[in-house]
Structure 1
Amino acid sequence: MVLKRDGENVATNASCAAVSDTLRSPYDGGEWTRASDVDIDHMVALAEAWRSGAHAWLPSKRRQFANSLTDSQLWAVTDSVNQTKGDKESSVWKPPLVSFWCIYARSWISVKYDWRLTQQASEKSAQQAMLDTCT
């Protein structure tokens, strides 16, 4: 679903798996035509969400968060960039593409707010620096 939403010319097989597409990764600007070069990233990683309050949620809410298509939580991005990000929060990792920082910070803040997850002062400071790039 995320590849179909974010990609262009997405073709799927009988089991709805993406088999070809054109995708531009917002994190680094990479362009990919094979689904295998792309990961689906959780804007707020599941481990970060756990540390920020998801540990208190029922399993059903954790599943809903992990698979949410109704907010800015899931992004199709270059696989190696996603692996570099891992479960880091926004004061430790920023997308390599500076022109995406504004959207990244807004999305991070939105996900944390919508899901009532806590933010550390260091996160807020990093987000403000990214928001300062908004035009």
Structure 2
Amino acid sequence: MKSLTQALALLLTTTTLVLALPAPELVARTAPNIPTASTAKSLLTGLTVKAQGSSDGYSRDLFPHWITQSGTCNTREVVLKRDGTSVVQDSACAATSGNWYSPYDGATWTAASDVDIDHVVPLSNAWKSGASAWTTAQRQAYANDLTNPQLLAVTDNVNQAKGDKGPEDWKPPLTSYYCTYARMWVKVKSVYKLTITSAEKTALTSMLNTC
């Protein structure tokens, strides 16, 4: 009887300890090819400072996006899988369950419908800073870039609030993400040889100084 009582006590203690453990915290997955702060600062100095061009002629349709990447998976579904944890996809590659942490605002989500895939440097911004002269194939590559830090799973209404604004007009709600955001932005602009405005450069410099 004594051994049974001791065993039950041990079981209860173990159960209590397990229940007391904190749930694993979701953290942001790292986008690919983000430069260090020092490299980003160097890249920033190499960008051409120029007033934004006209938005005349711009249309999202000129940047074919969410193309098929492999099998039946399109770009959005690939990023959802990459940026989420425990993501389950159906036979059509749509995410049916999973967990996503939005690095812009720190929110967590369990439904893919609550998550947008943000173009870090928005398509409209790219158009006004050089992409208007690109071919459709070049714009398609830009809109579906999985190699550089251009695509990120974030809270849908935060992405909508950002719209096509540059860092001079919009920054992530989490100031702790300023450094990473600026590093990503500069990398994308550098890779695609897009111009920046003077206000944009000032904002990026300030954000990089938080690193």
Q: Same fold (TM over 0.5)?
A: yes
Match of 1:121 in 2: 198
For the residues of structure 1 that align with 2:150 and 2:175, how far apart are their CA atoms? 19
Unaligned segments of structure 2, at least 5 residues: 1-77
Instruction: For 1:72-91, list aligned pairs within 5 A.
Output: 72-91=149-168
Q: State the one-letter code of the partner of 1:41.
A: D
Determine whether 1:10 maps to 2:87.
Answer: yes
SS of the aligned residue for 2:96 comes to strand
- Deviation of 1:19 (Å): 1.4
The CA deviation string for residues 14-60 of structure 1, in whole angstroms up to 9 with x for no partner, is: 11011111110010000001000000000000000000000000000
For the residues of structure 2 that align with 1:21 and 1:121, how far apart are their CA atoms? 41
Instruction: For 1:97-108, list aligned pairs within 5 A.
Output: 97-108=174-185
Aligned residue pairs total: 134
Aligned-pair identity in percent equals: 56
Q: State the one-letter code of the partner of 1:40.
A: I
SS of the aligned residue for 1:109 comes to helix
For the residues of structure 2 that align with 1:93 and 1:117, how far apart are their CA atoms? 19
Match of 2:67 in 1: none
Tell me the TM-score normalized by structure 2.
Answer: 0.63
Tell me the TM-score normalized by structure 1.
Answer: 0.98
For the residues of structure 2 that align with 1:49 and 1:55, how far apart are their CA atoms? 8
Q: State the one-letter code of the partner of 1:89.
A: G
Match of 2:12 in 1: none
Q: State the one-letter code of the partner of 1:12.
A: Q
Q: How large is the RMSD of aligned CA atoms in angstroms?
A: 0.5
Determine whether 1:44 maps to 2:133.
Answer: no
Which 4+ runs in 1 deviate beyond 4 A?
Answer: none
For the residues of structure 2 that align with 1:23 and 1:10, how far apart are their CA atoms? 9
SS of the aligned residue for 2:97 comes to strand
For the residues of structure 1 that align with 2:146 and 2:175, how far apart are their CA atoms? 25
For the residues of structure 2 that align with 1:126 and 1:44, how far apart are their CA atoms? 14
Q: State the one-letter code of the partner of 2:150.
A: Q
SS of the aligned residue for 1:22 comes to strand
Q: State the one-letter code of the partner of 2:96.
A: V
Rg (Cα) greater in structure: 2
- Deviation of 1:90 (Å): 1.1
In structure 2, which of residues 137, 145, 148 is the aligned counterpart of residue 68 of structure 1? 145
The CA deviation string for residues 61-89 of structure 1, in whole angstroms up to 9 with x for no partner, is: 00000011000000000000000000001
For the residues of structure 2 that align with 1:19 and 1:126, how far apart are their CA atoms? 38
Match of 2:170 in 1: 93
